[in-house]
Chain A
Amino acid sequence: MSAERILVIDDDPDVCDALRMMLEPCGYRVTCCPTGPEGVARLHAETPDLLLLDIMLASPTEGFHIAYELRRDEHLRDLPIIMISSIGKKLGLDYAREVGSDYLPVEDFLDKPLDAATVRGVVRQALDRRARAPAGVH
């Protein structure tokens, strides 16, 4: 069985490397992109099994906008997304409600500072949910 691929879009290189160090020993193949446009290009070139996406990139809400764009993309709408945030899960959820979407376009939230056990648990759950879901259903 090939390693599951995780793409990280975060402009903080220390966070990217920390995630790589937390996840690679568990058998995942982790790729990091420092900007939104680079990350989206990478997604289209090689679709990963999971996306870890920082909310605050070039703008305070660029992460959310990328997530909503992906949900509208025919090929990527089923990609599980975990939002990394330093504003806290509650604020993230509040913002998602403010944006007015019918559903939250992410699987889960990870609050900074990141903890290896939590990161691994959340990532595993998201991947398992995706594996259990019928094809074409997110």
Chain B
Amino acid sequence: MSSGGRMWERFYPRGDLRSRVLVDLVRRQWLIHWRWIIVAATLVLLVIDRQLLPHAERPDAVLVCALLLGAANALWLALQSRLTLPDRSVSLDPGLLRKVVLLTNAQMLVDLALLSVLLRYTGGVENPLVVFYLFHVVLAAHLLRPANALLQGLAAWALYSFVVVGEWAGWLTPHYAFLPALSESGMHQDGACVVAAVGALGVAVSGCLLSMTRVSLQVDAHEQALETAHRDLQASYRAIEKLQEQRARFTRTAAHQLKSPVAAVQTLAGLIRDGIADGASARDVAERIIRRCRSATQQVEELLTLARVEQSSPQRHRAARADASRVLASVLERFSEAANLKGIRLSADDRAFSRRRIAVDERDLEDCAGNLLDNAIKYTPGGGTVTIATRELAEGLEIRVADTGIGIAEESHEELFEPFRRGHTALQSGAPGSGLGLAIVREVLEQSGGRWTVTSRVGEGTTVALVFPWARNEGERS
């Protein structure tokens, strides 16, 4: 935008509300109507004036001034009718607003000039119609920017000063008395009177500008606050909608995941009931039923854990001082039997675990470490190794679980921590799993301000590292 364009912007109304009020007033020809009334009132007053004050000296310029006001008004009407002004429901075009502001300014300046001419020929300093200057200043301060109102105020004050000072100094002659009784008063030649009149108008204009622009700026500020609140509300609404959609998807998936084992159990039980499976095959089917029930129970437990973690306040982590070495030793003990049964070597030196406290709820930490170890054992073939280690970082404690298992394809890394998502290699392995373990880990990490990284190669193994922030005062020891 050019510097000229930026300068003009100072004169546009800032708030959308005031811009719309201005455009609406122009669309409804509010100023035009007022001006017709003033033209008509002036003509009527001139007739009455002639009747009541036959000795008053009224030059033709007064009538010409009223007729000029009417002619100017007809011009404004013609110019306005060329603008297509929208109602309040349609958004405003900046170019249109600029035209409306220019037109309004032009109208007001011509009004002020004609008012000054009228005052010049109807008594000057003696004429109380000077208050009409303030009418324009108040209107400008309400509808336009402060800079614009200041321009109108200065114009009003300068024009009036020119008239009364001109008459006092003798540049503008002769003087036409407002009333015949005042023709001998000599007010227009009284320096004190002229200074008082100019000063009074200056004070009145300044007062109007200060008070009215202050009100208008507050309206703008309130409008902006409302707009911000409206935007925030819309953002919240969108977030809630997204959340509801996620919840609905989660519920659908959870229902399906829970229905699958139950449906499989019913199918398998039907084989025994119908005599399709008998003897050894019936025992095999019964084993499958038990396995599926166990898997469904574990799934429900994990769903409950996820719900517990999600519903708990994240604040609990800030006050927590978890002893990772104790938690990891306990988790290692819990999974050692499963690892032994599968012929997997669990490699961990629990004396080497960091003893510095971390800001995470201990029960949640146990769930996280348990899920990582469970996955590592589940997806590592017999003869493989699973290693747990800790490392002190500046930001917190890193807990690393590395395995020599089937690995995870890179395209699955991102969605691993989503609920019910399992990597392709995990699905192909046939190992049972709910797809909720890493979702629980993610929730705990997000709540506690931690982070995670996954490095993996298909067929070689996976390393998952979780970093939990230090507990209060622990970070200072690093």
Contact = CB atoms under 8 A, between A and B. Distances in A.
Contacts of B239: none
B427 A112 contact: no
Chain B interface SS verdict (over half): helix
What is the predominant secondary structure among interface residues of chain A facing chain B?
Answer: loop
B270 A116 contact: yes
Interface residues of B, number: 22
By CB atoms of chain A within 10 A, which of B256, B264, B288 has the most? B264
B274 interface: yes
Interface in A41-87: 56, 58, 86-87
Contacts of A35: 427-428
A25 B264 CA distance: 20
A117 B270 CA distance: 10
Contact of B263 (A25, A58, A112): A112
A11 B431 CA distance: 12
B251 interface: no
A7 to B, nearest CB: 19
Given A113-B270, A116-B270, A56 B256 contact: yes
Contact of A86 (B260, B277, B292): B260
Contact of A21 (B259, B265, B271, B430): B271
A87 B256 contact: yes
B281 interface: yes
B266 interface: yes
B290 to A, nearest CB: 12
Contacts of B265: 113
B430 A13 contact: yes
Interface in B241-277: 256, 259-260, 262-268, 270-271, 274, 276-277
B263 A18 contact: no
Contacts of B259: 86, 112
A87 B430 CA distance: 22
A14 B264 contact: yes
Contacts of A22: 271, 276
Contacts of B292: 14
A102 to B, nearest CB: 28
Interface of A: 11-15, 17-18, 21-22, 25, 34-35, 56, 58, 86-87, 112-117
Given A35-B428, A58-B427, 13 more contacts: A12-B264, A15-B267, A17-B288, A21-B271, A21-B281, A56-B256, A113-B262, A113-B266, A113-B270, A114-B263, A114-B267, A116-B274, A117-B274
28 contacts: A11-B427, A12-B260, A12-B264, A14-B264, A14-B267, A14-B268, A15-B264, A15-B267, A17-B288, A18-B268, A21-B271, A21-B277, A22-B271, A25-B276, A35-B427, A58-B427, A112-B259, A112-B260, A112-B267, A113-B262, A113-B264, A113-B270, A114-B263, A114-B267, A115-B267, A115-B270, A116-B276, A117-B274
